[in-house]
Amino acid sequence: MKEGSRKHGMLAPCAACKLLRRRCAPDCVFAPYFPANEPQKFASVHKVFGASNVNKMLQELPEHQRSDAVSSMVYEANARVRDPVYGCVGAISLLQQQIDSLQTQLAMAQAEALHIKSNHQFNTAASSQRPASSSSPDHRGNEADSLWFY
């Protein structure tokens, strides 16, 4: 509906064509992903990747993958605008540090659980042997009786 109206020249050109100051053709590769009301999306990818590269990358993909590709490019471009030195790679580095920390915490928690469990088993075994040892005096008593008998 929106696309149909755009084709009849009733809506503004897409954000990309507006920024690039060119006519927004009915088959514009940017139009479905860069609507006029979200100019910042295209501004970021244009600044980081360049309109020509974004165009080329979209053309090389089948249509059903273009929306995801645009989303990931916008995310990547925004990360690079926020952090011009590390961009997305800064986020990857932080996530990897978080994974290292979680793996250490998990190993510690598992070791603690194992330690408590083995302590618990040891104590259970020790306490289950207590009645047997308390009956031993009687047994020793019988032995003593036997010895006395001989």
Which of these segments, 3-11, 12-20, 25-33, 105-113, binds a second copy (CB under 8 A)? Answer: 105-113
Taking CB under 8 A as the criterion, the residue among 40, 123, 135, 142 binding a second copy is 123
- Give least dist CB 80 to a second copy, A: 8
Taking CB under 8 A as the criterion, the residue among 26, 89, 135, 139 binding a second copy is 89
The count of other CB atoms within 10 Å of the CB of residue 127 is: 9
Taking CB under 8 A as the criterion, the residue among 12, 25, 92, 144 binding a second copy is 92
Per CB under 8 A, 133 contacts a second copy: no
User: Residue 45's closest CA among 9, 85, 80?
Assistant: 80
CB distance 36 to 16 below 8 Å: no
Taking CB under 8 A as the criterion, the residue among 5, 40, 72, 142 binding a second copy is 72
Q: Residue 10 carries which DSSP code?
A: -
Alpha helices in the chain (DSSP H): 2-7, 15-20, 39-48, 51-59, 63-82, 87-149
Torsion of CA 65, 66, 69, 73, to 10 degrees: 180
> Interface residues with a second copy (CB under 8 A)?
47-50, 52-53, 57, 60-61, 65, 68-69, 71-73, 75-76, 80, 84-92, 95-96, 98-99, 102-103, 105-106, 109-110, 112-113, 116-117, 119-120, 123-124, 127, 130
